[in-house]
Structure 1
Amino acid sequence: MSAKSEAKENGPDSKPMLGNRLFEGHKKYELTEETTCGVWFLRGDFLQRFANQKSYVFLYGLMGLILSAAYSYFNGTITTIEKRFQIPSQTTGIISVGNDISTLLVGAIITYFGGKGHRPRWMAFGLYTVVLFCLLNALPHFLYGPGDDALSLTMEYGGSTIDHNATQDALEKFHSSSLCKAKIESDDGPEAEGSSAPAIILFISQVISGIGGSLYFTLGVAYMDDNTKKSQAPVLVSLSYFIRMLGPALGYTLSSLCLKWYIAPTLTPKIGNGDPRWLGAWWIGWLLLGFIMFVVSSLLGLFPHTLPKAHYRRQISKMSNKSQVEEPDTKASVQDMIVTFKRLIQNKALMCTNGASIFFFFGYMPYWIFMPKYIEIMYKTSASEASLVTGAIGLVFSALGILAGGAVITKYKPKARSMALWNMTVAAISAVGLLSYTALGCPYTHDPVGEIQNGTVNYNSQCNADCHCDYVKYTPVCMNGNPYISPCHAGCKSYVTFENGSKIFTDCSCGQNQTLDGISLPSIAKAGPCKADCYKYFYSFLAVLCFLKFSGSTARTSNFLISVRCVDEKDKPASMGLGSFLLSLFAFIPSPIFFGYLIDTTCLVWGKTKSGKGNCWLYNAESLKYVLNVTASSFVFVGLLFDLMVWYYVKDVHIFDAPEEGIHEVATEKELTILKDGAAKQREAELIDDRKPDEGEP
């Protein structure tokens, strides 16, 4: 029944049972302070038109898309940041867990109090901290610039006014410093560029973002579930997840585009983006993401405390079930918070679900953070190409899997045990799939030429013993199909530059070319790494990756429904806050640090500075393939065991057939109107009965 026809039927003087004003929009519901859109002077019928489930799901998903894009953008640019500021992978892992540290410290507490208040405004407040996170991430570039190494690889190096003589002198000095020398001057060793300050700034930005991220992920989905019929929850949750999962695709694609530009876009680089020394414009995307996030988070904060339709449905439910005593919601307090968390910890189904998530995320975390690095190392792709493939292809399959999972659950409405069984199946597929990565490496990733001494590789061999290569920067060359760390390590004493800018290094003592007549000539090394044809193996890896992305994401909706249905409705925000706390403590914080350390153990070539060790320039791909994938698969398998316990404990959990929703779960608008009129007549009779003693009746 439309709003106009209802007004005609009830008469011009008819009023709703609650509230004192009406909103004439798509439907007519009472409006109170709790159900009114906007804040301060930003109120009105125009905003009220968007106070519905569809608008919220779209905007919440859009915000999640941007938020996920920001986190994946950081992952997509991580190798460039490491090269620019000489940061090891273990330090990068510590930086990436900054947001989880703040979630660990204040996430559960602030989520509890936020769940008792105006959730959309709490979310908007939190998301403003993520805007600050974006700006702080771009700050190191504006403080420290592109760096001397990046400037030395440009045509304009030497000043804003191009001086060709100065440029040539700078380039000559740069290349001659990487050649074999009979002696080394005291100032040949590179100084430590910058300091630890860039890493500290990046870490602080991550810590700040953890507040906003925890509020968004916990309060946002709880607000959606509370304002939605349980029969519609799966499709809406999966839809919001679908929109949100497109965020990493956007983030990686944006990082790919930005990394195609040189770190100093106004300068002309002398190398291509396939060169290991290439530094892309990693900082540009943060400015764009911060602006968009500020706009969308402001709109999200305009939603009311409760959506009008959900508020109206609850009032009808109360009047049609008067005999049912409703437990009043307690006010937020420290004592109630302790009681609430104690009640949740004793919930076996909830804790086993959290345990399964902890081990699953622990195993998958290195692929989310270090996947572009892994693809670069294993299949010799550029940073731009690795980010594009990781985002635009792999994560699209994740989004499709979420949609498929939500659609199946909505149509067939499986029981909790059936959902738990599917979660077990997905965990088993994931564990086997990650283990299969060990057979999908590229066999042509040759390591640089060196001598094994005491179990370690020493690249200062007899042929370059007198070249003083300790502080030479990583400038790979290829000679006779064998890669060398630098012309110095190949024993090259001079070089020739051609008109097209290409170079060859000559008089290389670590190799010889033989003519057909058996006459030895001075060997020649070509600038750049040796070419490796890894695309055939890369496509096989990509196929398995997409399958795992799709299958794994089909369990997202089922896992969420189990986690929110196994607790009381009043404990829903607190349970999600507790889950975020446990995930941060046992998965999100230790996993990047642990796997960052494992990745660093496979490093072959460390950058050296006068102040110590810099970032890793080259990894042992064969060792990395086994160390990373076997370890990650083991953690996912342990998560499978927790899923088995979840299957046992959720036997009494109801996903759809919630008795408290009663008739209004399937009632039409006309039936709701009849309930409303009947309840009004009943209330009127009660008021007459209350007045009888005053009229002197016995």
Structure 2
Amino acid sequence: MDANHKDNGNSDYILPEEEVVLKSVSVEIDEDTTCGLWFIKGKLLQKFANKKAFVFLYGILGCLFSATYAYYNGTITTLEQRFKIPSKTTGIITVGNDLSQLLVSVILSYYVGRRHRPRWMAIGLYTVVLFCLLTALPHWLYGAGKDALFLTIEYGQMDNNNTDKVFELEKKKVLCGINQTLTECDMEEGNYAPATAILFTAQLISGIGSPLYYTLGISYMDDNIRKSKTPALISISYFLRTLGPAIGYALASICLKLYISPSLTPTINNNDPRWLGAWWLGWIILAGIIFLCASLLALFPKQLPRAAARKLTTRSTTDEPELPRSFKDMMKTFNRLVKNPTLMLNNFAAVFYFLGYMPYWIFLPKYIETLYKQSASASSLITGTAGLIFSAIGVLLSGLIISKFKPTARILAAWNVVVGAISVFGIISYVYLDCLDINPIAKRYQSTNSCNSNCNCDYVKYNPVCSQDGKTSFISACHAGCSQYSLTNLTKLYKECSCIQSDDGYGYATSGNCHVDCFSKFYAFLAVVCLLKFTGATGRVSNFLVTVRCVEEKDKPVAMGFALMMMSLCAFVPSPILFGIILDKACLVWGKTCSGNGNCWLYNSETLRYTLNFTAAGFVTIGTIFDVGVWYFVKGLKIFDDDVEFELKDI
């Protein structure tokens, strides 16, 4: 060792390579490694220019990002009911997000992958803020709607407290023998094409932000974190993101417990199928929080100081200079990616996994409402919280195990195959977790029977009643043939029901579905959901590592954008439409409007269980087969590198 660099007991002793790095970094620090934006700079901000702060904020934003999708899924049933939208249309609206991802993900990832990624991520998140505000806009344009206003105390007070008039109106809307005709249908209903267009546009805008946030954020982390630390920190980021669905569904549950117009007093409770919750409120809350956090993300530097120092110490004189971005170079990059068998097989596996998982991400609250007779609020809460602990444990546990034991690429790929197999068997088990007591009701009572053929119930709203035997439900008092109505101690009693026989002639019915005990099967369903959440979470980190290690470092952002494009084209776009059609095909009773069918009132649960779950299981099976191909080709792939690591002071 050079005598000029002896320690001599000096605690501030610096190695020669560190001295070079410090000088180099001091030159470039103002350009690439300084926190802040415009006049918002300083030493206080610079303290946060580290991997822990970025991973934490990135994870929080991922949590909020995931919460927006979960909140949308949690309020889908209410949206369909409010604007009379069938599930197929809901699926088409959801596709808007994936269409824009398909068009811009690769191009944006290629052209901005080497620029100031935190600021571009912030721009992407601002589009998510706009998405939230636009999604809430239809409420401000159309209000709560006549059906919701009719079910409030204030509605009767609009005409000098003439509650008798309200009473007569309700009798006209629900009872048999009123002779409603097509000309008496409510022209307001089914005329919400502008609202549907706004919701679709909001999804299109959101799709621009997704590739900027996910592809740039993951590549930024991988470039600024030591390879040996990547699994643990990535798992922490994923862990924070797993909180997102729970927060989104919990927020949906809270908002749906409030009436759609919180300033009014409803005459029904949130267990009534006519209840409409304040679906729009959560979008305002999410927009404000995401805007604040995105603004903080924009303050991070182009490159973290310690990562810049490590690159300077390991930079080779043979490193190729970075070429300017061009269409020709982009095509060469795509050619490299397409010829990478590991990457392509991994992408195809992900495509089929997403095809299979999509119905449970989008329609799970509706599935729970339909098959297990839970309220919209309870379904959203259960969906968000049931698997949270198991997902969180799975992500953290897998990240820590991978960081500690550093398994080979083949072991990581083999575990993904195991996860796929468990998912297939779990999804198939959903078919047999049914509530049998509901099926006879759904099959027997559709829309018109001989006993109610003269009641003209086409435009009567879905308002189920339970016959006096306590076992048979009808979709409305009109469909039960009831011609009389009374209100006693807030209990609605429908009399003279031609479809209900009693010893004295025509029987009676009470409002609401008959009680059906579905809890044992429902708890079994939740147990399987939690198992799949746990196993699926354990495969996230390993899948990410295989994806980013099988391509050149310069191709990472583009590879992730390319994968996102494939997901959008082959999975995210067709899957919501396909499963929306499957849901609509299982519909027994449609609500009718002047312009045609509205939303579905009653599903055939048996048809729904078989078609949806077996279709999903088939897609996941194909994805598992592709994962076997990944396992074959990753032999020799290096996951962990030997990193140069030392402490830099005053950076």
Structure 1 length as normaliser, TM-score? 0.88
- Amino acid corresponding to residue 396 of structure 1 in structure 2: I
For residue 123 of structure 2, what is the aligned residue in structure 1? Answer: 125
Question: How far off is 1:162 after superposition?
Answer: 7.5
CA distance in 1, matches of 2:92, 2:454: 39
Asked if residue 459 in structure 1 is aligned to residue 447 in structure 2, the reply is: yes
For residue 555 of structure 1, what is the aligned residue in structure 2? Answer: 539
For residue 166 of structure 2, what is the aligned residue in structure 1? Answer: 170
Question: How far off is 1:544 after superposition?
Answer: 0.8
1:200-239 equivalences in 2 (<5 Å):
200-239=197-236
Find the partner of 1:580 among 564, 569, 573.
564
Find the partner of 2:84 among 79, 83, 86.
86
* Superposed CA offset, 1:179-222 (max 9, x none): 11163356432324242111111110010011111110100010
Asked if residue 601 in structure 1 is aligned to residue 585 in structure 2, the reply is: yes
Find the partner of 1:484 among 467, 470, 474.
474
SS of match in other structure, 1:357:
helix
Contact 1:183 1:468 survives alignment (8 Å): yes
Asked if residue 434 in structure 1 is aligned to residue 427 in structure 2, the reply is: yes
Residues 59-68 or 334-343, more deviating: 334-343
- CA 1:108–1:196 in structure 2 vs 1: closer, same or farther (change >3 Å)? same
1:498-513 equivalences in 2 (<5 Å):
498=488, 500-513=489-502
Question: How far off is 1:458 after superposition?
Answer: 5.3
CA distance in 1, matches of 2:10, 2:259: 64
Contact 1:252 1:388 survives alignment (8 Å): yes
Contact 1:270 1:501 survives alignment (8 Å): no
1:535-574 equivalences in 2 (<5 Å):
535-574=519-558
Larger-Rg structure? 1
Question: How far off is 1:177 after superposition?
Answer: 2.6
* Superposed CA offset, 1:523-573 (max 9, x none): 001111111111111111111110110011100000000000000000000
Asked if residue 311 in structure 1 is aligned to residue 308 in structure 2, the reply is: yes
CA distance in 2, matches of 1:82, 1:433: 29
CA distance in 2, matches of 1:128, 1:180: 52
- Amino acid corresponding to residue 127 of structure 1 in structure 2: L
Find the partner of 1:112 among 105, 110, 113.
110
Contact 1:30 1:308 survives alignment (8 Å): no
Name structure 2 gaps, 5 residues minimum.
1-8
For residue 251 of structure 2, what is the aligned residue in structure 1? Answer: 254
- Amino acid corresponding to residue 372 of structure 1 in structure 2: P
For residue 655 of structure 1, what is the aligned residue in structure 2? Answer: 639
- CA 1:445–1:32 in structure 2 vs 1: closer, same or farther (change >3 Å)? same
- Amino acid corresponding to residue 39 of structure 1 in structure 2: L
1:301-450 equivalences in 2 (<5 Å):
301-318=298-315, 322=316, 325-448=318-441
Contact 1:340 1:571 survives alignment (8 Å): yes
- Amino acid corresponding to residue 133 of structure 1 in structure 2: F
CA distance in 2, matches of 1:283, 1:171: 29
* Superposed CA offset, 1:314-351 (max 9, x none): 11122xxx5x5112222222111111111111100000
- CA 1:475–1:640 in structure 2 vs 1: closer, same or farther (change >3 Å)? same
For residue 191 of structure 1, what is the aligned residue in structure 2? Answer: 187
Find the partner of 2:458 among 445, 448, 470.
470
CA distance in 2, matches of 1:135, 1:648: 47
Structure 2 length as normaliser, TM-score? 0.94
For residue 3 of structure 2, what is the aligned residue in structure 1? Answer: none
CA distance in 2, matches of 1:9, 1:625: 69
Asked if residue 616 in structure 1 is aligned to residue 614 in structure 2, the reply is: no
* Superposed CA offset, 1:394-434 (max 9, x none): 23322221111111111111000000000000000000100
Contact 2:98 2:204 survives alignment (8 Å): yes
Sequence identity percentage: 53
Question: How far off is 1:596 after superposition?
Answer: 0.5
- CA 1:330–1:465 in structure 2 vs 1: closer, same or farther (change >3 Å)? same
Contact 1:21 1:32 survives alignment (8 Å): no
For residue 685 of structure 1, what is the aligned residue in structure 2? Answer: none
Residues 214-223 or 267-276, more deviating: 267-276
CA distance in 2, matches of 1:620, 1:31: 64
Contact 1:116 1:331 survives alignment (8 Å): no
CA distance in 2, matches of 1:562, 1:507: 68
Question: How far off is 1:168 after superposition?
Answer: 3.6
* Superposed CA offset, 1:339-380 (max 9, x none): 111111110000000000000010000000000000000100
- CA 1:458–1:306 in structure 2 vs 1: closer, same or farther (change >3 Å)? closer
CA distance in 1, matches of 2:97, 2:615: 24
Find the partner of 2:98 among 97, 100, 107.
100
For residue 5 of structure 2, what is the aligned residue in structure 1? Answer: none
- CA 1:482–1:113 in structure 2 vs 1: closer, same or farther (change >3 Å)? same
- Amino acid corresponding to residue 59 of structure 1 in structure 2: L
For residue 497 of structure 1, what is the aligned residue in structure 2? Answer: 487
CA distance in 1, matches of 2:205, 2:179: 50
Name structure 1 gaps, 5 residues minimum.
23-28, 452-456, 515-519, 674-698
* Superposed CA offset, 1:267-312 (max 9, x none): 1111111111111100000000000000000110111111000001
- Amino acid corresponding to residue 117 of structure 2 in structure 1: R
SS of match in other structure, 1:191:
coil
Question: How far off is 1:18 after superposition?
Answer: 6.0
SS of match in other structure, 1:104:
helix
CA distance in 2, matches of 1:125, 1:469: 51
Asked if residue 67 in structure 1 is aligned to residue 65 in structure 2, the reply is: yes
- CA 1:10–1:462 in structure 2 vs 1: closer, same or farther (change >3 Å)? closer
* Superposed CA offset, 1:447-485 (max 9, x none): 54776xxxxx75311111111112211111111321112
Contact 1:450 1:460 survives alignment (8 Å): no
CA distance in 1, matches of 2:131, 2:319: 42
For residue 523 of structure 1, what is the aligned residue in structure 2? Answer: 507
CA distance in 2, matches of 1:175, 1:96: 38
CA distance in 2, matches of 1:6, 1:447: 85
CA RMSD of aligned residues (A): 2.1
CA distance in 1, matches of 2:299, 2:50: 12
CA distance in 2, matches of 1:525, 1:428: 48
Contact 2:113 2:557 survives alignment (8 Å): yes
CA distance in 2, matches of 1:422, 1:186: 60
SS of match in other structure, 1:326:
coil
